[in-house]
Amino acid sequence: MLAQLEPGMTPEQVKFIMGTPVLNTDITPDEWLYYYRNTVGGQATTEQTITLTFKDGLLSTINGESEFSEDDL
């Protein structure tokens, strides 16, 4: 999923790829937070937080790198 994101994408394009963010508030409307957790046998094996920032209505930065393979996501 992250490999499909590119700076300059609209929020609608990002939501189509990533889904609805875990956190997106009126306080920080230009910052979206995504949290992923891979669980095997009830134990979290990998956790990752991704923060996307928008500027002037377009994706400008992607912070955090996924430790998951595409098969996990």
Report pLDDT digits (tens) over 5-40. 999 999 999 999 999 998 776 777 899 999 887 778
Which overall architecture, per CATH, does domain 2-63 show? 2-Layer Sandwich (3.30)
What residues does each domain of the chain span? 2-63
pTM of the model: 0.74
- What is the pLDDT averaged over residues 31-59? 87
Question: Count of alpha carbons within 13 Å of 23, Cβ hemisphere only?
Answer: 12
Residue 65 has pLDDT above 70, yes or no: no
Rounded-to-integer distance, Cα 18 and Cα 2, Å: 8
What are residue 65's phi and psi, to 5 degrees?
-120, 140
* Total residue count of the chain as it appears in this document: 73
Each as own residue / partner, the long-range contacts of residues 62-67 (CB below 8 Å, 24 or more positions apart, any chain) are: 62/2, 62/5, 62/7, 65/2, 66/1, 66/2, 66/36
